[in-house]
A and B are shown apart, each in its own frame.
Chain A
């Protein structure tokens, strides 16, 4: 019997190690067993069930569910967009998260921790430099924003790693274009571990990149979406106007994926996201006939067809 208990303890500790490596919360059963004391009583309260990860809740239940509580404040989150012309949306989403991190720090009374934005020069020439006035209007406090424009990906990674090792920043945004070979799985693992050790959120903004296995907690695919119209004081909408930015957020790497994606509106004045319903215009952009018939039989076992989400476990190396 005693031997049995020892074995069980070993298995549990191994499970715990694996869970830690996989950035996963301990499964309920492991946790419960760990929390229970030999006498059979629960030693800890129910509230302590949540993992030790520090998160920043974004205030939207669906998004927080995808992110397992909120934006991780210690570790890497990847944000990617598909085409260069969508880079504005992805950068806007990352900026919004940066602004939220700033706000969270300011509420704690620590208002001087800057945001570091590292933009490899190729990325910033292709998609434009961050623009101070626009970022200010967007809700980011540009008085504590430091921008770095390194020439090569290697320099960018070095700056990011240096920044993560000093506890001076409230968020680090690393903007990389495409899938460079110098930022593969092992390098992303290194950055992720650094970010966790330094307790700094690292937002990897991958501009026009393919999905690739990485060590980030989550990977979000951002697509632009049509904005609402501007509200008028009497409650109606100003026809033909362009209101606050709306994003189409698709969680690509998450334990609870939402394949359809969420439509979120960023309100710079309130500095928070609001869920919105997709406009019919967004659907009209991808026109499909009313009675669509597959013209060709779906290919199987070959590349070409869209794979169902969650089917693929490891991606081929894109970099």
Chain B
């Protein structure tokens, strides 16, 4: 058991990271040791990253204790870099989080200054002056390298800024100079944001937080109306919308709603979120209200502007798309299906259901269905209902390979009056393996007139006893 994190007081008391707990207790018996919970730390950092997206959409995680915010082009929205930093730190302080932050022109310099120097905004030409007095650890080097550098007397960054580069590279490797250049802003360092940046978004900051669902929906519609001209200008419609709700206590909720066709109408976008809010009802705890609402369009597609005609007959696709969107927003993407036929002799593979992702699929399903050879469709009779997995039945056949005389299914006995068959369907060895048994299908009618589809798997006299299954029900 070792110490993995220390608070300010503990640091002052002389504890070290990596120290044994027993040793720490010996130094100071009243020390309070909590077990580390990496998952919770991670969740907190993720939550903070979400919260930071109020300043910029480009937020990247730095290990498990830091965040990079790329505020290029965002600072002026909050009255400059200084006031952005003050606002950020003040809000985090009120959330009860101790944070250190710095703004500079390179990620490496900000990292160094936030952790080892005085915080604040650093002008681009001050990099060398600010870096010089910092310890080597400020360059994000491995502990081995810091130790090696310290052994030859290179303890501060200033010691190597002015030093000749070639001997340093020869002796300590390229990493040292790369880190130094990154901190100085000479080398570019890409940040990888946590989430892809939406192509479009609109935001509303409220002075009075809202709690009610209706208020959220009204504001959503307003935001969607603000997005509409821009979408129209680009000739795009949203396929996925995301609503970010910033709660006053710092929690951020993301609610995504997909559509089945490109969408720009504000009313329908708000309608989608009405269903989504119904669906996530219990998870969305408004608490003391939401202060910022942001609607973004992470995914968009070409939108074809259609002119209304004078005939008065409504367009077929549009209400259907509206219906599909509402259902999928509320019940999930896997709630509407289209039957799709495919080339297979095995009944359960010949017709499957495909989730309806796009209303345009209704049209394309037409061509898909026609690609199946007519011989397969015209083949023999198929039941109207098929069990997903065949149900075993106890059947008695008069002659070994013939149709059953009676069978017991779901604990009731059916006497068979007539039977048609067998229709032999061989397994698809390329999928099922060579040992899969053949099936002999019989269409049977019992004495009351119920029609069933039974099959026998295997043969009498084969290596295993044949088994009977119920696979479908006819009308």
Contact = CB atoms under 8 A, between A and B. Distances in A.
Contact of B319 (A88, A166, A281): A166
A282 interface: yes
Of B314, B331, B341, B353, the most chain A CB neighbours within 10 A belong to: B331
A45 interface: no
A114 interface: yes
Interface string B172-208: 0000000000000000000000000000000000000
A133 B452 CA distance: 16
- Residue of B320, B335, B352, B409 with highest tally of chain A CB at under 10 A: B320
Interface residues of B, number: 56
A132 B350 CA distance: 8
B86 to A, nearest CB: 49
Interface in B382-398: 382-388
A22 to B, nearest CB: 31
Contact of B450 (A96, A114, A166, A224): A224
B418 A242 contact: yes
A310 interface: no
Contact of B320 (A114, A128, A149, A223): A114
Interface in B226-258: none
Contacts of B443: 242
A145 B383 CA distance: 17
Nearest to B338: A146
Contacts of A132: 339-341, 350-353
A130 B385 contact: yes
A136 interface: yes
B365 interface: yes
Given A93-B475, A132-B339, A132-B351, A137 B331 contact: no
A241 B386 contact: no
Nearest to A93: B475
Interface stretch (A33-41, A155-163, A185-193): A155-163
Contact of A145 (B322, B338, B347): B338
Contacts of A26: none
B336 A148 contact: yes
Interface centre among B347, B351, B381 (most CB of A within 10 A): B351
A127 B473 CA distance: 8
A315 interface: no
A227 B448 CA distance: 10
Contacts of A242: 418-420, 443, 445, 451
Contact of B472 (A134, A224, A284): A134
Given A89-B450, A138-B475, A226 B445 contact: yes
B12 interface: no
A245 B474 CA distance: 8
Interface residues of A, number: 62
A275 interface: no
A241 B403 CA distance: 13
Contacts of B450: 85-86, 88-89, 224
A166 B320 contact: yes
A92 B383 CA distance: 10
B384 A135 contact: yes
Contacts of B340: 132
A144 B362 contact: yes
A204 B383 CA distance: 21
B357 interface: no
Nearest to A144: B362
A78 to B, nearest CB: 18
B364 to A, nearest CB: 10
A247 B448 CA distance: 11
Contact of A150 (B316, B331, B409, B417): B331
A114 B337 CA distance: 12
B327 interface: yes
Interface in B337-388: 337-341, 347, 350-353, 356, 362, 365-366, 369, 377, 381-388
A131 B472 contact: yes
Contacts of A289: none
A241 B385 contact: no
B456 interface: no
Contacts of B377: 133, 136-137
A294 interface: no
B410 interface: yes
24 contacts: A85-B410, A88-B383, A88-B385, A88-B451, A88-B474, A91-B475, A114-B362, A130-B339, A131-B386, A131-B472, A132-B339, A134-B384, A134-B474, A135-B339, A135-B384, A136-B377, A145-B339, A147-B339, A150-B331, A159-B327, A226-B418, A242-B419, A242-B451, A281-B447
Interface of A: 84-89, 91-93, 95-96, 110, 112-114, 125, 127-138, 142-150, 155, 158-159, 162-163, 166-168, 223-227, 240-242, 245-248, 266, 281-282, 284-285
Given A247-B475, A282-B448, A284-B447, 17 more contacts: A87-B385, A128-B386, A130-B384, A131-B382, A131-B383, A132-B353, A133-B347, A143-B365, A143-B369, A146-B338, A150-B331, A224-B448, A226-B445, A241-B418, A248-B449, A281-B447, A285-B448
